[in-house]
């Protein structure tokens, strides 16, 4: 028995999935480089990165929630609603763009708090609580904006710096066209990784997901931490809202639902378990990029959006099947002890 435990320790089952996801990413990239039309280019790479920002921010936030064993279905509409509210302040009230962005973040964080209170203190199942706030959010955004489309500054206007800072540098600037959004996403990923891996907040996220009752009996104030985790997720949806606005300029009321599923798909492809306790942000980022490589790659082969949806579905199912198989295999090894 001693021996089996020793052997097990040498290969932690954790890294394997990330490795698999990463190799899927590489294989896809190579595949499309060979078979796609003009896939291997700076422009395509920029497109891949551009397609990842807002999904990436949502996916980072919801990774924390999913590690606790929960779910947040309100990501997509929180993104849109917060961007709408910020846009309304900018368009209708004449706020400065900076103040409007702060309002965007605050709105999204408020939705996070709402979710956190419902899940942690009112003990609603996360699925139901966040389904409710998804609908509330979507309606709220439309009501506040009187169902009018909100516009963020675009290139050539007075506030064009907004686009240069959050989306793409000025093509006429010394560095040329550079996807700054990617740097922001990288920064968010690094900060979130420190939070998840090197703070109490992160440890408790895993502890709650692994065994919430054991965590409570260890003196951890599980309700408070859980509420904070949902709040963080809301905050990241707000960031996603800013980057969505920077990329697409117009925000239309009554949209956004469905985006959360893309974020969740990215998390799942990255090996975070829906049953909680296991997961990583590196995996999540890989998962998000697998989806955008797929999107751009299929486009380069002349296949349109519905093909992308189709194949993303296959990848999600495949990733989870593979994970189940891996866990079953690991348990088979353990049996004799």
Partner 1 sequence: MAEILLQMENIQKYFTGVHALDDAFLSVNYGEVHALVGENGAGKSTLMKILNGIYKKDGGRIIYKGKEVEIDTPQQAQSLGIGMIHQELNLMPHLTVAENIFIGKEPLKGVFLDKKRANIEAGELLRSLNIEIDPAAPVNTLSVAKQQMVEIAKALSYNSELLVMDEPSAALTENEIQELFKFIRNLKNKGNGIIYISHRLDELPEIADRVTVMRDGQYIGSACMKDITKQQIISMMVGRTIYEEPKTKSSVPVDAPVVLDVRELTAGYNVKKVSFTLRKGEILGFAGLMGAGRTETMRALFGADPVESGDIFVNGQKVRIKSPSDAIKHGIGYLSEDRKGFGLAVGLSVRDNCVMTNLEEYTKNLLVDDKRIQEVTEEYIDKIAIKTPSTMQLVKNLSGGNQQKIVVAKWLIRNCDILIFDEPTRGIDVGAKSEIYKLMTKLTEEENKSIIMISSDMPELLRMSDRIMVMCEGRITGELDISEVSQEQIMALATMNM
Which residues contribute to the site for partner 1 (CB under 8 A)? 1-2, 5-6, 8-9, 12, 194, 198-200, 202-204, 206-207, 210-211, 213-221, 277-278, 334, 337
| Min CB(289)–partner 1 separation in Å | 27
C-beta closer to partner 1: residue 169 or 211: 211
Enumerate the β-bridge partners of residue 250: 151
Q: From CA 96, how far away is CA 280, in angstroms rounded?
A: 37
Q: From CA 295, how far away is CA 67, in angstroms rounded?
A: 27
| Min CB(319)–partner 1 separation in Å | 19
CA distances for 209 relative to 70, 229, 273, angstroms? 8, 12, 10
| Min CB(200)–partner 1 separation in Å | 5
| Min CB(239)–partner 1 separation in Å | 21
C-beta closer to partner 1: residue 219 or 302: 219
| Min CB(194)–partner 1 separation in Å | 7
Both tokens of 201, joined, read: 């907040």
C-beta closer to partner 1: residue 12 or 174: 12
| Min CB(275)–partner 1 separation in Å | 10
C-beta closer to partner 1: residue 191 or 317: 191
C-beta closer to partner 1: residue 212 or 295: 212
C-beta closer to partner 1: residue 188 or 208: 208
């Amino acid at each position: 028995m001693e021996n089996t435990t020793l052997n097990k320790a040498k290969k932690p089952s954790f890294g394997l999935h990330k490795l698999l996801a990463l190799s899927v990413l590489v294989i896809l990239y190579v595949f499309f480089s060979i078979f796609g039309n003009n896939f291997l280019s700076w422009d395509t790479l920029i497109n891949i990165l551009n397609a990842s920002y807002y999904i990436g921010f949502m996916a980072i936030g919801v990774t924390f929630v999913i590690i606790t064993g929960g779910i947040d279905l309100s990501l997509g509409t929180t993104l849109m609603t917060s961007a709408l509210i910020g846009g309304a302040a900018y368009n209708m009230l004449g706020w400065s763009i900076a103040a409007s962005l702060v309002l965007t973040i605050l709105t999204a964080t408020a939705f996070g708090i709402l979710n956190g209170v419902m899940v942690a203190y009112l003990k609603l199942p996360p699925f139901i609580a966040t389904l409710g706030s998804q609908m509330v959010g979507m309606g709220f955004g439309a009501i506040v904006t009187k169902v009018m489309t909100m516009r963020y500054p675009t290139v050539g206007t007075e506030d064009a710096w907004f686009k240069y800072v959050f989306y793409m540098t000025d093509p006429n600037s010394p560095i040329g066209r550079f996807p700054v959004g990617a740097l922001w996403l990288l920064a968010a990923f690094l900060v979130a990784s420190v939070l998840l891996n090197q703070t109490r907040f992160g440890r408790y996220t895993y502890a709650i997901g692994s065994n919430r009752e054991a965590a409570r009996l260890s003196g951890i104030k599980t309700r408070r931490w859980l509420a904070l985790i949902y709040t963080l997720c809301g905050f990241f949806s707000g960031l996603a809202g800013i980057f969505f606005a920077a990329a697409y300029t117009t925000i239309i009321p009554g949209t956004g639902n469905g985006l959360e599923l893309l974020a969740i798909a990215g998390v799942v492809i990255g090996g975070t378990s829906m049953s909680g306790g296991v997961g990583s942000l590196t995996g999540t980022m890989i998962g998000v990029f697998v989806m955008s490589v797929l999107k751009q790659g299929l486009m380069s082969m002349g296949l349109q959006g519905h093909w992308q949806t189709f194949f993303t579905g296959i990848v999600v199912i495949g990733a989870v099947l593979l994970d189940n198989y891996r866990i079953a295999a690991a348990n088979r090894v353990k049996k004799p002890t």
